[in-house]
Amino acid sequence: MESRCENCIVRQFNSLRAMSKEELKAVSDSKTTKTIKKGEPLFEEGDKLNGVYCVRNGVSKLSKLSSNGKDQIVKLASTGEVIGQRSVVAQECANLSAIAVNDMEVCFIPKETINHTLQKNPNFTLEVLRHMAHDLKEADDVIVNMSQKTVKQRIAEAFLYLKNNFGEDENGFLALSLSREDISNVVGTATESAIRIISEFKKKGLIHTSGKKVGIKNERKLVELVEGF
Amino acid sequence: MESRCENCIVRQFNSLRAMSKEELKAVSDSKTTKTIKKGEPLFEEGDKLNGVYCVRNGVSKLSKLSSNGKDQIVKLASTGEVIGQRSVVAQECANLSAIAVNDMEVCFIPKETINHTLQKNPNFTLEVLRHMAHDLKEADDVIVNMSQKTVKQRIAEAFLYLKNNFGEDENGFLALSLSREDISNVVGTATESAIRIISEFKKKGLIHTSGKKVGIKNERKLVELVEGF
DNA sequence: ACCAAAAGCTGATAATTGTCATAGTCTCCC
DNA sequence: GGGAGACTATGACAATTATCAGCTTTTGGT
């Protein structure tokens, strides 16, 4: 389980691929590997972050508590993604909480190592910038979806997203199975509303379920629903 | 009206302040100044951008068309802000349309000049990165507001935002006066709903209006409303 | 100053979504 | 394997928001 960043495949998917051999060595020497159990936090909103977390395994939900007492899940981060980068770059406290949806294995990289490379290696900085530009585009798109689509459309979209990003298991169920409550926190609705719509999708043959597990049955119709028939 | 970037005050508010004398000179030599009339676009979503726009005067709305045919305004950009940076950095087509809310005066800076500096000057890249980190935080906060707050709360928040960011005129009206339709596109609701709630605010003495102009009368109560009483 | 077009306003009604209450079902731990 | 607690499900109802229609006011151009 313990390994060197230089040999880590996960690196290929994030901005660390723009680091030089020497810089990677420094990261490898300063990093620590942590195991986070399902439901435990990597950090909570408001925390001062002393570094970033590179996800080797598992999925984390990034969420924020609204003044109405409900959590809104803003993003799901999985293998290869770096969590906490925004806060470290902006030198701010965490704007979101990061909680493990699964058992996770992450590498913690101290912010000094990151900041040092940011100042020395323009390619790395540019790579981080490109990733953040991508995240910003996604966030803008989420804003549009949240405000302009119905709950039904947003739930359909969430299922398609889960299939495309995390795949299916051998029985045709979504590989990442979220609780109904997490689903409602992703699409920004009441848990009961989400459950009702999921039941409706099941009745209409768009999906099949087994306990909390959900599988996509009629992808075409789900896509049509998202687009507005 | 024509001037050198080296002497431009606007620069202090954006990432161009991290440029060296020589780099600024290059920007100054390659830039062109444009006047955009109210209602006209700087660019539309899907356009290939050949550079960024630095706002000297006026305000632009950045919006995206949803599949239901409605525009969602994602951000308002005014004096000092650089528009189009995300697309140029990510080397993608514009994700949003930029339309002048006011008569505007902007400087167009070709992307070659920006990209060259991004690769040569890590301080500039880092500065752009910090700005984008800030934008991303704001976008995440908007997601939470959109999904967890009522239309009433979002409209109250929009008025407070307009006061804090654009100030008031001599008569106590918001200096930036948006049409009711623009307001509804900011908060993501139907124009009639926005109008209805604005009328209600007026009846309750939270705001005063005159034509399309709106002024804040009871800021404390508006804040309470946003927080949920 | 006038006229057309755009923007603002209001009511009636329908659709969507949230809330509260209650009951069934699953899961995990002892 | 049994039971506590969490999760899922459904009904009834209330609140919020959208839609459609018609009307008034404001605005901008000639």
Which nucleotide is nearest, taking the CA of residue A181 and each C1'? Answer: D7
The whole-angstrom distance between B95's CA and the closest CA on chain A is 7
Residue B132 touches partner A, C-beta closer than 8 Å: yes
Query: Taking the model in full, what pTM does it have?
Result: 0.95
CB pairs under 8 A between A and B: 140
The whole-angstrom distance between B2's CA and the closest CA on chain A is 31
Provide the residue type at A56 as one letter: R
State residue B150's pLDDT score.
Answer: 97
Provide the residue type at A219 as one letter: E
The phi and psi torsions of A57 (rounded to 5 degrees) equal: -160, 140
Nearest amino-acid residue to C6, taking CA and C1': B179
State residue A126's pLDDT score.
Answer: 95
* CA–CA separation, A117 and A111 (whole Å): 10
Instruction: Output the CA torsion B219→B222→B226→B229 (10° steps).
Output: 110
State residue B211's pLDDT score.
Answer: 84
Residue A193 touches partner B, C-beta closer than 8 Å: no
State residue A211's pLDDT score.
Answer: 83
- The percentage of residues in chain A with a pLDDT greater than 90, rounded to a whole number, is 88
* CA–CA separation, A58 and A30 (whole Å): 22
pLDDT at A106 over 80: yes
State residue B2's pLDDT score.
Answer: 58
* CA–CA separation, B5 and B107 (whole Å): 9
Mean pLDDT of chain A, nearest integer? 94
Find the distance separating the first CA and the last CA of chain A, reported in whole Å.
Answer: 48
Binary contact (B137, A92; C-beta < 8 A): yes
pLDDT digits (tens, 9 = 90+) for B38-61: 999 999 999 999 999 999 999 999
Binary contact (B146, A146; C-beta < 8 A): yes
State residue A143's pLDDT score.
Answer: 98
pLDDT digits (tens, 9 = 90+) for A150-183: 999 999 999 999 999 999 998 899 999 999 999 9
CB of B89 within 7 Å of some strand C atom: no
- Find the Å distance, CA of residue A1 to C1' of nucleotide D19: 59
pLDDT at A13 over 80: no
Nearest CA in chain A to B137: A95
* CA–CA separation, A99 and A88 (whole Å): 18
The whole-angstrom distance between A53's CA and the closest CA on chain B is 17
Mean pLDDT throughout A189-209? Answer: 96
Chain B contact set for A123 (CB, 8 A): 119
Do B64 and B74 touch, CB atoms closer than 8 A? yes
Binary contact (A67, B227; C-beta < 8 A): yes
Do B110 and B32 touch, CB atoms closer than 8 A? no
Nucleotides of chain D in contact with protein CB (under 7 A) are: 7-12, 16-21, 25-27
Residues 172-211 of A with CB under 7 A from strand C: 188-190, 192-193, 211
Distance of CA A164 to the CA centre of its chain: 13
Q: Which of residues 100-119 of A touch B (CB under 8 A)?
A: 118-119
Q: Confidence class of residue A2 from pLDDT cuts 50, 70 and 90?
A: low
Residue A141 touches partner B, C-beta closer than 8 Å: yes
Binary contact (A141, B96; C-beta < 8 A): no
Residue A121 touches partner B, C-beta closer than 8 Å: yes
* CA–CA separation, B142 and B152 (whole Å): 15
Residue B82 touches partner A, C-beta closer than 8 Å: no
B55-74: buried (b, 16+ CB within 10 Å) or exposed (e) per residue?
bbebbbbbbbbbeeebbbbb
Which nucleotide is nearest, taking the CA of residue B194 and each C1'? Answer: D17
* CA–CA separation, B173 and A120 (whole Å): 48
Do A183 and A189 touch, CB atoms closer than 8 A? no
Distance of CA B191 to the CA centre of its chain: 20
Binary contact (B120, A125; C-beta < 8 A): no
- pLDDT by residue for chain B (229 residues), tens only, comes to 457 888 888 887 789 999 999 999 999 999 999 999 999 999 999 999 999 999 999 999 999 999 888 999 999 999 999 999 999 999 999 999 999 999 999 999 999 999 999 999 999 999 999 999 999 999 999 999 999 999 999 999 999 999 999 999 988 999 999 999 999 999 999 999 999 999 999 999 999 998 889 999 999 999 999 998 7
